[in-house]
Structure 1
Amino acid sequence: MTRVLVVDDQFLIRAGLVGLLRAAPGIEVVGEAADGEEALALAAQTRPDVILMDIRMPGMSGVAATERILADAPDPPPRILILTTFDLDEYVYGALRAGACGFLLKDSGPERLLAAVAAVDGGDALFAPSVTRRLVEAFAQRAGTAAHTGEPPPDLGALTAREREVLRLTARGLSNVEIAGELVISEATVKTHLNRTMTKLDLGSRAQAVVVAYETGLVTPGGAS
């Protein structure tokens, strides 16, 4: 059973999401919140597996709530899926940078929503890596890392040469299968390298790894694939 917390400041949207999720087999809605502060309290209280997080809310934004929830959550942390009106949104970039697993447009159909919840709960990539790349490229150079957190990006010196290469190809929008073909290794080996990279850099999602690859200069917007 996948435990889901729904966060959206618009009552009708929130009620629609809750109704859809409750009607789906294998999903339990453990709470609903109208703002970031309420989301923090309910996340700590209910320990959801997945959080559907509205990105733009009065008071505490979805970005700030994502940062706080992931910083405070015991292992395993919830998988946070950002809800947004349009994909090229710098707030979504900030949320991915903070550790959200992906984003979903609010006008997506019911099947897409349920598939997204199942995907992030299972630890899979939510969407084609090229979508993450397009979003990150749009904002990676608009503001430096310090503008977001006041901290430098992670040091890639801890990575092996192969781990850096897998990270570079991930940021370029290649899937695990495509990376395996490019490097002539198995898909399982690609996953192992990426998992080790994320552990070494203390990253919580593939999307967050893509952000780090751009902000450390491992890849650059518009660079050759």
Structure 2
Amino acid sequence: MTREMVELAALAEKLRGYLELVFAANLFFSIGLMLGGYWLVTFSLFVIFELGASLHAWLAAVVANFALAALAAWLLSRVSPGAVRRAWALGGLRSLLALAPFVVLYALPYPTPYVYAVLWVPALGIYHLILYAFARGARHSKLFLLSALLILLGSPAPLCIALQQAQGSADSLAFLFTPILGLGIVLLSYFVSALYGLWLAKGCLESGE
């Protein structure tokens, strides 16, 4: 009887780890889709209404983005198991403290306002790095670390292009596609991180790690 209880407890632990990682991977997929749709619409509206040089417009867009991301995460948590939902609820509260990079980076002066169009990319990378620090030790924390590193490695490209606007070496077409370049880097980072999470979930279910 005792042996059966031990085996049952081990199976329960495997399933808990599997569900935690699958939900984390699904969160990256879902938030990535939301980010893609939201920023494509936002970039289009900014170009149509010529809001690209407005700091207030970019700040409003970033705030709205996080509101939508929080809503998406909450909706996903409602269809997740109770134990996973409680773990991510704590992470959600801590994630509010990780918004500091956005506040700091957007408060600094820059030689051209076009930097604000892509500043959210490195800020998002630092944001994920802070989330990793908060969740360190949890199974899903590695997903935050991987996404942070990939985003930070890719963020210099759109930043350099945006900074060239101040030197007049890039035209309006380059500015139009610069934030889309940043969005592509983020979406690819999310995709790789989600696949990594599913790979970890498979290993967790099979080995019980």
What range describes the TM-score normalised by the shorter chain of this pair?
Answer: under 0.3
Higher relative contact order (CA 8 A, sep 6+): 2
Q: What TM-score results when the alignment is normalised by the length of structure 1? A: 0.26
Greater Rg, structure 1 or structure 2?
Answer: 2
Report which of the two has the higher share of helix. Answer: 2
Q: What TM-score results when the alignment is normalised by the length of structure 2? A: 0.27
